[in-house]
Structure 1
Amino acid sequence: MLHQDLSLECEGTAAGGQGVGRAAPDGAHPDGPVAALARRRTALGLAPDPAQDAAAAALQRLHAALSVYRHPTGRGLHRLLRRGPVARAPRGLYLYGPVGRGKTMLMDLFFAGAPLARKRRAHFSAFMAEVHERLHRLRRTGDGGAAVPRLAKALTEEAWLLCLDELQVDNIGDAMLLHRLFEAILAAGTVVVATSNAAPGELYAGGLQRDRFLPFIALIEARLEVVRLDGGRDYRRARLAPAQVYHWPLGPETEAALARAFALVTGGAPPQAEALPVSGRTRRGPR
């Protein structure tokens, strides 16, 4: 099999399943990220943030476009009978800005309510680790020169919406691969949403052979709406402001202080045990 899931969240059917355009999964927000953000603020007692509102509005426009989008691989019999042209995929979105402004929260709210049958959300570094592993296996079992197109086809069949958190490029291996891979994914009709601390033009700054990376920057700027999120407030730091930094000696009081800090960072969400696949092994964390 081409696919081995590494730290990815997936929803929908496998390739060959039913087409896009079904009702949103249970727990989704059919009215989109703007309403979901309002509910989150009410639940957590957060103040209005115009910068977040602007970013949520951009995601809301994409949500609306996705609600009527039919992915080419999901057209079923209509596609086989050539009934009507294949609609051009909506532009994705690249959300960037300083840490702690709410980029990940906004993308997660958007992802939860995205009205597509097949969607994936991943941390960018985990996604690229998976990409390199799958390319390695493809090159061992077939034509190495066709590995990237084959992987792009598989990724497109698995996800019609791909959400990537914390996109950054700090090694030449990723830099040389990204344009070919994402050009094929986008051309096949998958919509990409990404968050990053850096503007597209700042990615891989000072990296080796950066001139060969520039087509990826141009691709982002052409195929994704670029939105800056900088409301001037670091919510991560604000949440932890009441927390003490150093704790000594270790003991029940220290454990209690760390539990309070954990609650501040997570907004009071209950801890959950989770098993994480890392380099072929499973690491289990109590919370």
Structure 2
Amino acid sequence: MTPVRGTAARFAETHRHELRQPGSTVTSPLSSLTDRAPRLTGPEIAGYLVPPRQFDEASLDNYRPDPDYPSQSEALEKMRAFAAGWSASSGGGGGWFRRAKKAPETKPGIYLDGGFGVGKTHLLAALWHLAPQRKYFGTFIEYTALVGAMGYREAVALLSGASLIAIDEFELDDPGDTMVMTRLLGELVASGSRIAATSNTPPNALGEGRFAAADFLREIHSLSAHFETVRIDGLDYRRRDVEGNARVTDEDDFDSRLATVSSGRPTTVDDFSSVIQHLSKVHPASYVRLVDGLGAVGLRDVSTFSSQTDALRFVALVDRLYDGGVRVVSTGAPLDSVFGEDMLAGGYRKKYLRAMSRLISLTTGGPEL
């Protein structure tokens, strides 16, 4: 049976030919992002499936539950119990693993459902750090891009048997993509892999779709029996201080600001339209290498998108910039205004809202970065 391909998988499939050649390291610094033409093989893409660098030190011990929201402490204990499932087969380990006499029986999957800013990604990264090798951590989009790049069967073969498949921001806005991921996860669970996922809840969405556990369980059909859902309450993101708009820099200040925010790391400068055109020539799964090693990117003459395909490519780039802590300096239209009202009213609303919030952070240095 051939799996139904969703938008992201089909989108990545159109670029599969760009992954045929072995990956090569891009030499930095470069003056233009469009000078970078990375080509990654499937295993190289998988090598980037690790937590973002801001979660390098994430652990269950340094997660700080808010005492006003008991569900955060409960979620922490649920994650400890889930992690204990590895102790029996590992013969013990460090820390609290040594004290566990017998790991309680747990389901092979756990799903963290909650609003933005309550620590879901921290907990997911902490779990990844505890898992024995082999293990993978990526966003929903990264996994669907991997399937589109390698092909479904090759992706199954690559990921099967991993100790943990961690999926940050499991998306439910495209039935085809959800079906692809559901079938993939079913095969991975059958191979002995354990699955941990977080909900995809957009910041600044005024509570829209804040808790998605029921939708998640419905969409993954028979696989739902393998998942324990854990709800995490917390302060609503709109009460935090990263409200506002993406910063627009005057042309006279462009070079100096770019040098300031890059913190001495390499920078690139391009016209916005040139970058968008270049993204169509690079496989989305290779965007991580496109921005690798950069401290900041400069985008001149930013304008509003007329093509949803271009907009979705840019969303994927924004995710890679955010994960890499690469700052953005821009002229023209504010970067959080590039998605038109028709796009924000459509099926990819959550993707665009997340990208808008991240662009505010990347251009202003808000607390999310």
Match of 2:160, SS state, is helix
Partner of 1:8: 48
Could you list the structure 1 runs, at least 4 aligned residues long, displaced by more than 6 angstroms after superposition.
270-274
Residue 66 of structure 1 corresponds to 86
Separation in structure 2 between the aligned mates of residue 195 and residue 106 of structure 1, nearest angstrom: 9
Identity level (%): 22
Match of 1:50? Answer: 70
1:52 to partner: Cα distance: 2.0
CA apart distance, 1:47: 7.2
SS at match of 1:202: helix
* Displacement of 1:247: 5.3
Aligned to 1:164: 167
Give the match's secondary structure for 1:5. Answer: helix
Asked if 1:238 corresponds to 2:215, the answer is no
- How much does 1:109 deviate? 2.4
Aligned residues: 210
The answer as to 2:284 corresponding to 1:278 is yes
Distance 2:264 2:89 in 1: 37
Q: Which TM-score applies when normalising by structure 1?
A: 0.58
Whether the 8 Å contact between 1:94 and 1:195 is mirrored in structure 2 is yes
**8 Å CA contact 2:113, 2:212 repeated in 1:** yes
Residue pair 2:166, 2:195 contacting (<8 A) in 1 also: yes
- C-alpha distance in 1, partners of 2:186/2:214? 17
1:219 to 223, 230, 251: 223
- Distance in 2, matches of 1:199 and 1:271, equals 41
Tell whether 2:121 aligns with 1:121: no
Query: Which one-letter code corresponds to 1:278 in the other structure?
Result: P
Partner of residue 37 from structure 1, selected from 50, 55, 63: 63
Partner of 1:141: none
**CA–CA separation in structure 2 for the residues paired with 1:190 and 1:278:** 26
Q: Is the 8 A contact 1:7 1:126 kept in 2?
A: no
* Aligned CA distance change for structure 1 residues 166 and 247 (closer, same or farther; 3 Å): closer
Structure 1: which amino acid aligns with 2:108?
R
Q: What is the root-mean-square deviation of aligned Cα atoms in Å?
A: 4.2
Residue in structure 1 matched with residue 351 of structure 2 by the alignment:
none
Query: 2-side partners of 1:51 and 1:252: how far apart?
Result: 46
Unmatched segments (≥5 aa) in structure 1: 12-26, 71-87, 137-146, 204-212, 263-269
Name the stretch that deviates more: 174-183 or 161-170: 174-183
Q: Deviations over 1:122-172 (max 9, x none)?
A: 011111111122116xxxxxxxxxx3xx64233124x21111100003224
Contact 2:115 2:234 in 1 (8 A): no
Q: CA deviation at 1:50?
A: 2.7
Q: Determine if contact 1:183/1:219 at 8 Å carries over to the other structure.
A: yes
Q: Does residue 137 of structure 2 align to residue 134 of structure 1? A: no
Aligned amino acid, residue 9 of structure 1: L
State the match for 1:155 in structure 2.
159
Gaps of 5+ in 2: 1-40, 91-104, 202-210, 268-281, 296-325, 327-369
Contact 1:124 1:166 in 2 (8 A): yes
In structure 2, the CA distance between the partners of 1:249 and 1:119, relative to structure 1 (3 Å rule), is: closer
Distance change (3 Å), C-alpha of 1:248 and 1:119? closer
After superposition, the Cα gap between the structure-2 partners of 1:52 and 1:7, relative to the gap in structure 1 and judged at 3 Å, is farther
Paired letter, 1:134: M
**What is the SS of the residue equivalent to 2:115?**
coil
**Distance across 2 between alignment mates of 1:246 and 1:119:** 35
Measure the CA separation in 2 of the matches of 1:227 and 1:36. 19
Query: C-alpha distance in 2, partners of 1:100/1:126?
Result: 21
Aligned to 1:15: none
The one-letter code matched in structure 2 to 1:283 is L
CA distance in 1, matches of 2:119, 2:167: 15
Q: Report if aligned partners of 2:112, 2:231 keep a CA contact under 8 Å in 1.
A: yes
Residues 183-218 of structure 1 show CA distances to partners (whole Å, capped at 9, x for unaligned) of 111011101000013524324xxxxxxxxx957244
